[in-house]
Amino acid sequence: MESPAPAAARISIIGAGPGGLTCARILQRHGIPVTVHDRDPHPRARDQGGTLDLHADDGQLALREAGLLDAFFGLARPEGQEMRQLDPAGHLLAHHVPAEGELFKPEIDRGQLRDLLLGSLEPGTVRWGHTVEKVSEAAADGSRRIRFADGTTVETDLVIGADGAFSRVRAAVSSAVPLYTGISFLEAWFQDVEQAHPELSALVGQGGAAAADGERGLFAQRNSGDHIRVYIIQRLPADWIAANGLSVGDTAGIRAWLLDAFAGWAPSMMRMISENDGPYVDRPLYALPVPHRWEHAPGVTLLGDAAHLMPPLGVGANLAMLDACELALALAGAATVDEAVRRYESVMVPRSEGMARMLEGGAEGLIERHER
């Protein structure tokens, strides 16, 4: 098998999230053609989620290589680094206020970050409405065929799976599937918080506020646009909503169930589950088995959650963007695609394995009770 030079290769990224778009941007900066395929019909098809912090030692490094770091700082919220630890009675247990000029991990809305990355790409880079059904076995020359749900196919020299937790590309290199962690998130949205929810605004501050009692917890996070998202965290079966005779659309029924589950919490804290605007969003937490590694295979590799899905403890997007940066730079500096992928995987797999071991079971920490 003779692997092609990256600049002459057909490179297909699956997934237009932070990792996939970062990889595409850096490849294009180095003159390497790339196409991104995403299942969404268009970039505004669904909510991109809340805010995230990009760290100086990974996410920001990737944005520097992408030539977008200054633009990121123009959008980011350093004040979002504020963090409050509360108890169920609403008492302040710990409080971090970022120092003047502190920029280690400023917050940015996921939608803003995606728009920044999308806007940096050459027109036509992203092909929307392309849901992957299967990635073929490698041909004699190492190339792959991607089959999409609409029946179309693409021949490519490298498939980069940046398609998240339930990646369709992963099956080409690994039989691993995500497992439920035992911890479930329920997301609640609050709009126009300064006017409509002033007590919640004051409680949360400019960043985040968390509280837990050992079985359940609340994490409130300020977003831009006068918006707060609350994550209601519970140790429950993944199907707890249906098991209790409810449905995701039954906002009143879920709210009543939650008010009973959180009985005894202070009224100021209960606002986070009783005054939300609109329905709840069910987000059970999954993680890949640890360790997750695979034998190198020609014509395919993974990055981000597709490679190393972990509990949501502040590393996911940052690691995805670091993966993307290192893979793109490896392709820019190698003689062949296969050489670049081997170089990338030799660093990414052990790094992510070490992080996954450190965070294994970490979802339980989200409901750990803190004392004065």
Please report the beta strands in 213-270, taking only residues with DSSP state E, as ranges in sequence order: 216-223, 227-235
**297 found inside a domain:** yes
Note whether 270 and 332 are same-domain residues. no
> Domain ends where: 237, 270, 286?
286
> Domain ends where: 286, 307, 323?
286
Note whether 247 and 300 are same-domain residues. no
Note whether 253 and 348 are same-domain residues. no
Note whether 22 and 135 are same-domain residues. yes
CB contact at 8 A, 149 and 292: no
What whole-number distance in Å separates Cα of residue 15 and Cα of residue 288?
A: 18
Note whether 260 and 301 are same-domain residues. no
**372 found inside a domain:** no
Note whether 324 and 306 are same-domain residues. yes
What whole-number distance in Å separates Cα of residue 123 and Cα of residue 143?
A: 25
- CB neighbours of 268 closer than 8 A, spacing ≥ 6? 90, 199, 203
222 is annotated as contributing to ligand binding:
no
53 is annotated as contributing to ligand binding:
yes
Q: Which residues of the chain have pLDDT under 50?
A: none
**91 found inside a domain:** no
CB contact at 8 A, 309 and 288: yes
Joined tokens for residue 315: 């590393």
Note whether 67 and 159 are same-domain residues. yes
- CB neighbours of 293 closer than 8 A, spacing ≥ 6? 349, 353
What whole-number distance in Å separates Cα of residue 333 and Cα of residue 254?
A: 53
**210 found inside a domain:** yes
Question: What local confidence, expressed as pLDDT, does residue 135 receive?
Answer: 98
Question: What local confidence, expressed as pLDDT, does residue 313 receive?
Answer: 87
Strand, helix or coil at 124?
A: coil
305 is annotated as contributing to ligand binding:
yes
Range of the domain at 339: 6-81+99-177+288-363
**What is the CATH classification number for the domain harbouring 223?**
3.30.9.30
> Domain ends where: 221, 251, 286?
286
Question: What local confidence, expressed as pLDDT, does residue 239 receive?
Answer: 97
**270 found inside a domain:** yes
44 is annotated as contributing to ligand binding:
no
Joined tokens for residue 245: 């005779």
Note whether 103 and 251 are same-domain residues. no
**Which amino acid is located at 192 in the chain?**
D
CB contact at 8 A, 343 and 334: yes
Note whether 22 and 112 are same-domain residues. yes
CA dihedral 325, 329, 331, 334 (to 10 degrees): -150
Pairing of the two strands 227-235 and 51-53: unpaired
**86 found inside a domain:** no
Q: Which helix (H) or strand (E) holds 210?
A: strand 208-212
Question: What local confidence, expressed as pLDDT, does residue 232 receive?
Answer: 98
For residue 127, which of 39, 25, 18 has the smallest C-alpha distance? 39
**370 found inside a domain:** no
**194 found inside a domain:** yes
Question: What local confidence, expressed as pLDDT, does residue 175 receive?
Answer: 97
Question: What local confidence, expressed as pLDDT, does residue 45 receive?
Answer: 86
Q: What are the pLDDT digits (tens) for 30-60?
A: 999 999 999 999 998 888 889 999 999 999 9
Question: What local confidence, expressed as pLDDT, does residue 223 receive?
Answer: 96
Note whether 206 and 145 are same-domain residues. no
Residue 233: beta bridge partners? Answer: 185, 217
Question: What local confidence, expressed as pLDDT, does residue 48 receive?
Answer: 84
Query: How many distinct structural domains can be found in the chain?
Result: 2
What whole-number distance in Å separates Cα of residue 58 and Cα of residue 45?
A: 28
What whole-number distance in Å separates Cα of residue 59 and Cα of residue 82?
A: 19
Cα 243 from chain centre:
28
Note whether 279 and 297 are same-domain residues. no
Determine the straight-line distance between the first and last CA of the chain, rounded to whole angstroms: 63
What pTM does this model have?
A: 0.96
**What is the CATH classification number for the domain harbouring 28?**
3.50.50.60
Classify each residue of 309-344 as buried b or exposed e, where b means 16 or more C-beta atoms within 10 Å of its C-beta: bbbbeebbbbbbbbbbbbbbbbbbebebbbbbbbbb
Note whether 10 and 112 are same-domain residues. yes
Tell me how far CA of residue 59 lies from CA of 6, 66, 165, 255, 260, in angstroms. 24, 11, 19, 36, 40
